[in-house]
């Protein structure tokens, strides 16, 4: 796993909490903020953005990844995710699949209300995942 410093961890936690306050969630009222730490130390944050056509809503985690990727980043060290629940709320399945698209050797920090956190390796979030390497596996020859 990619190691991060305490100051980097505190920076992504703060960015996730700040982003949570920007969430657009008039339907669920479930605010989420996320911040991703890129390999070079850059940080990109995002919040959830809902839509009346619910299927078009986008989670905070994916918004943060979209922003990082749109700036040319593909390698990540960690992500912090914050929401308003009192306990630990892990990312949805779609976000987990998105995480493994960019590798499994980085960590998710689930941030509680008191700024404490639980560290979870991305690989543990989606075991037996389908990722880019799955498309390179040998296949049955069709005739």
- Which residues participate in catalysis according to the annotation? 61
Inter-residue contact 66 to 47 (CB < 8 Å): no
Reading the block at residue 137, the tokens are 């596996």
Distances from the Cα of 129 to the Cα of 84, 91, 122, angstroms: 28, 15, 10
Reading the block at residue 28, the tokens are 């669920």
Q: 43 — alpha (psi -120 to 50), left (phi > 0) or beta?
A: beta
């Amino acid at each position: 796993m990619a190691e991060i410093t305490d100051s980097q961890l505190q920076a992504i936690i703060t960015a996730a909490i700040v982003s949570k306050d920007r969430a657009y969630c008039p339907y669920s009222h479930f605010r989420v903020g996320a911040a991703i730490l890129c390999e070079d130390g850059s940080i990109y944050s995002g919040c959830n953005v809902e839509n009346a056509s619910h299927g078009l809503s986008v989670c905070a985690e994916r918004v943060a990844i979209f922003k990082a990727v749109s700036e040319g980043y593909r390698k990540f060290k960690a992500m912090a995710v914050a929401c308003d629940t009192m306990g630990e709320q892990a990312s949805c399945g779609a976000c987990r699949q998105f995480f493994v698209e960019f590798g499994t050797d980085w960590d998710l920090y689930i941030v509680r209300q008191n700024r404490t956190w639980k560290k979870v390796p991305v690989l543990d979030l989606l075991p037996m995942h389908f990722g880019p390497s799955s498309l390179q596996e040998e296949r049955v020859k069709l005739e």
